[in-house]
Structure 1
Amino acid sequence: MADAIPVFDLRDFTASEFIKACEEWGCFRIVNFESILPVSLMQEMKKVVASLLELPLEIKQRNVDAIAGSGYRSPGLINPIHEGLGLYDIASDQAVDAFCTQLEATPHQRETITRYAQAVHELIKDMGRKIGQGLGLNEVPFENWPCQFRINKYPFTPENIGSDGLRTHTDNGFLTVVQDDEQFAGLEVMQKSGNFVPVDPSPGTLLVNFGDIATVWSNGRFYNVKHKVVCKEEGIRISIATFLLGPKEAMVEAPPELVTLENPRLYVPFKFEDFRNTRVFKHLNAGEALDHFLLKP
């Protein structure tokens, strides 16, 4: 199917096709990653996530922000049928422990969250290495970039059908690994043509999509794909998204190997925090924030 997003077997794929998907689609599915993140752990994490999202409101509200937008989000004016919990810096044992304590996680829930955080972090580092290899780079900087995950709940009712559960946006980081709902569809990604393509459920796979920082770091090569969640049917849709953000201290900039006479540097180097603040405070959530960091001709 021409309009279906690409699928890559992590044990056997062509680097050139992999990079082409980063450039043309800005997203793809991956399979055969079980040596890093077992499907059984994904299934158990889904159960834990569903139970956490059913906690009383006063407990969920203890999930406070570590950075802007990293904690509990209740349904609001912009996304009225979306609720979420968040954990900033999944590589930090202290942060994972604090998240579990905030939500009064049971020992089993705590163990599952810890194992999942460690596994998905390893998977993201593996993806970073594959991106570097595909571009012919000896080193990539992603190893120490913080990762955040958010768990999302969309309680769709018959009255919501046709409505957006999450409005059109790009992600503000480098890449996102999404364990989407196995049953309920709703995610749609925008092609460069402007057409939206549905991303149907595919149990046992993960979705990878690229955000604004990927466009900057790749010097414009990687597509920061716009996407949204649409209510297609009644039911509770749950997803788990893990975001590779940007460097804590170093500047965000394209490596020298990706800057040439034919493809000169497009963006001024900047701190990720400054970029995130531009998105948040100027309400530029669909890639427009990048315009503020373009190099002037």
Structure 2
Amino acid sequence: MNKYNYGPESVGMSGVIVHTDPGFLTILQDDENVSGLEVVDEITGDLVPVDPIPGTLVVNVGDVAKAWSNGRFRNVKHRVQCYEPTVRTSIALFVLAPKDEKVEAPPQLVDSDHPRRYIPFDFEEYWKLRTSTRSITGEALQSFLAKSS
């Protein structure tokens, strides 16, 4: 659960800086009354507000899903921005990765038109690399690119 106690001095500041989620996906119950979630438009690089829609969930694809899908899914760069001096809350469920298996694209997602993009990797190994290199926007995945990519 995330709770942001924004005061007047917080307006215009980030509650969470731009990042991707390291796991497979994140299911987010966003604050229905207070905006602040922004995603990076993949084409323009602009931050785009994601206005809350009551009764809905936000699902973010993470780094592991990008690797598992052989690059077909996109990990979403996003942040939380303070727009107004108020309390903002959200609840996130993080679906990470298999504990006892490597992350790897299934054979159905690898073919001559879509060669394997990432070598199989252990999530804990990925997490340590991402943390030690401070690669919070998915750059650590580059270390697991297959040679043909």
Above 0.5 in TM-score? yes
1:156 aligned partner: 6
**Paired residues of 1:217 and 1:254 also in contact (CA < 8 A):** yes
Query: C-alpha separation between the residues in 1 aligned to 2:130 and 2:90?
Result: 23
- C-alpha displacement at 1:191, in angstroms? 1.8
1:279 is the counterpart of 2:130:
yes
Moved more, 193-202 or 178-187: 193-202
Name which of 187, 191, 197 aligns with 2:37. 187
Pairwise CA RMSD of aligned residues?
A: 0.8
2:100 aligned partner: 249
Query: C-alpha separation between the residues in 1 aligned to 2:6 and 2:84?
Result: 7
Higher relative CO (Cα under 8 Å, sequence separation at least 6) belongs to 2
Contiguous gaps of at least 5 residues in structure 2: none
1:175 is the counterpart of 2:25:
yes
- The normalised TM-score by structure 2 is 0.96
1:166 is the counterpart of 2:13:
no
Query: C-alpha separation between the residues in 1 aligned to 2:71 and 2:27?
Result: 21
More strand by share: 2
More helix by share: 1
- The normalised TM-score by structure 1 is 0.49
- Give runs of aligned pairs for residues 249-268 of structure 1, distance below 5 A: 249-268=100-119
Query: C-alpha separation between the residues in 1 aligned to 2:126 and 2:35?
Result: 31
1:229 aligned partner: 80
In structure 2, what residue type is equivalent to 1:180? D
Moved more, 196-205 or 158-167: 196-205
**Paired residues of 1:191 and 1:225 also in contact (CA < 8 A):** no
- C-alpha displacement at 1:197, in angstroms? 1.4
1:293 aligned partner: 144
Query: C-alpha separation between the residues in 2 aligned to 1:205 and 1:220?
Result: 27
Q: Between Structure 1 and Structure 2, whose CA radius of gyration is higher? A: 1
**Number of residue pairs the alignment of both structures matches:** 147
**Paired residues of 1:157 and 1:235 also in contact (CA < 8 A):** yes
1:215 aligned partner: 66
In structure 2, what residue type is equivalent to 1:171? D
1:109 aligned partner: none
Contiguous gaps of at least 5 residues in structure 1: 1-150
After superposing on structure 2, the runs of 4+ consecutive aligned residues of structure 1 that deviate more than 4 Å are none
SS of 2:2's partner is: strand
Query: C-alpha separation between the residues in 1 aligned to 2:62 and 2:129?
Result: 15
